[in-house]
Amino acid sequence: MRIVVLAGGIGGARFLRGLKQAAPDADITVIGNTGDDIHLFGLKVCPDLDTVMYTLGDGINEEQGWGRADETFHLKEELAAYGVGPEWFGLGDRDFATHIVRTQMIGAGFPLSAVTEALCDRWKPGVRLIPMTDDRVETHVAVEVDGERKAIHFQEYWVRLRASVPAEAVVPVGAEQAKPAPGVLEAIAEADVVLFPPSNPVVSVGTILAVPGIREAIADAGVPVVGLSPIVGDAPVRGMADKVLAAVGVESTAAAVAEHYGSGLLDGWLVDTVDAGAVERTEAAGIRCRAVPLMMTDLDAAAQMAREALALAEEVRTA
């Protein structure tokens, strides 16, 4: 079975670990969000691609869900000693190697998709990881700080400000001019099922869908598209998805997120058992909905969620 997954960071990566266990023989292609990318110290950092690569390659810092295990921060400390910031973004020594290799390869003319393939040769994530585009897209957030409206990089909003101020707008800068990376549209066209994991529906899945051609390819693929709600009990399971959902006028509920994706895109939607009340509203929106446990407390729980998503896809296919 060929499965395509649109993944962001931590939630998407943990779901993918469960999907690999639930469907060990499946051919999984991950279309990774690159809107979180940031250029620091002259290096290109791709947080969501790295989180998928490290998580599936067993190099992730498990409790953080980002960055490397067994990390040290000597380089960061030395840079700070020179007064070279920013200090609010925790890049570790081991992680720096990834960004140096990536930046060197891009500097030598390799597209991000080829660089990602090369990095995955080491990590062997067991899926094909393709960035949503080889073009530069960086999500910025419009905020009002000290009475002044300004656009700041997503990472500054997310990490330095901890999303503590309302997001007036979320803009994937460059998305409109971006083209799907080689292999993205082909993977969607050849897929037997497309999954939206419990990633941030605005800044992760939403950013991937903002690359012209990707949303249309999925809507026209003629195969089941099934998503899993990142909102459980009217709150994001992790991260601060509610802050960016508000920016796009979507209430922080499981049903509202399904409606946001729309029945033109989604055929099925899994909500957590605490949100069983959302099933009727979601089905009224033309999206088949089931309430199942959605807390990825461990690998088996994530694998069960993946099985539920694949089962719903089969139900949709035979409907």
Contact positions vs ligand FO1 (CB under 6 A):
8-10, 36, 45, 47-48, 50-51, 66-67, 89-91, 95, 155, 158-159
CA distance 311 to 223: 14
Q: How far is the CB of 9 from ligand FO1 (least distance, A)?
A: 3
CA distance 37 to 115: 14
Q: How far is the CB of 73 from ligand FO1 (least distance, A)?
A: 10
Exposed (0-12), middle (13-18) or buried (19+): which is 239, by Cβ within 10 Å? buried
Residue 126 CB: number of other CB atoms within 10 A? 14
Contact 52, 130 (CB under 8 A): no
Here the tokens at position 267 are 């055929």
Contact 247, 202 (CB under 8 A): yes
Q: How far is the CB of 277 from ligand FO1 (least distance, A)?
A: 28
Q: Which is nearer to ligand FO1, 242 or 283 (CB)?
A: 242
Here the tokens at position 286 are 């033309």
Q: Which is nearer to ligand FO1, 47 or 227 (CB)?
A: 47
Between CA 181 and CA 190, with CA 187 as vertex, the angle to 5 degrees is 150
Q: How far is the CB of 47 from ligand FO1 (least distance, A)?
A: 3
Contact 226, 266 (CB under 8 A): yes
Q: Which is nearer to ligand FO1, 165 or 292 (CB)?
A: 165
Q: How far is the CB of 203 from ligand FO1 (least distance, A)?
A: 7
Q: Which is nearer to ligand FO1, 191 or 228 (CB)?
A: 228
Q: Which is nearer to ligand FO1, 51 or 253 (CB)?
A: 51
Q: Which is nearer to ligand FO1, 140 or 288 (CB)?
A: 140
Q: How far is CA 28 from CA 1, 18, 19, 129, in A?
A: 8, 12, 9, 9
Query: Which residue is nearest to ligand FO1, using beta carbons?
Result: 9
Q: How far is the CB of 63 from ligand FO1 (least distance, A)?
A: 12
Q: Which is nearer to ligand FO1, 11 or 227 (CB)?
A: 11
157 secondary structure, DSSP code: I
Q: How far is the CB of 90 from ligand FO1 (least distance, A)?
A: 3
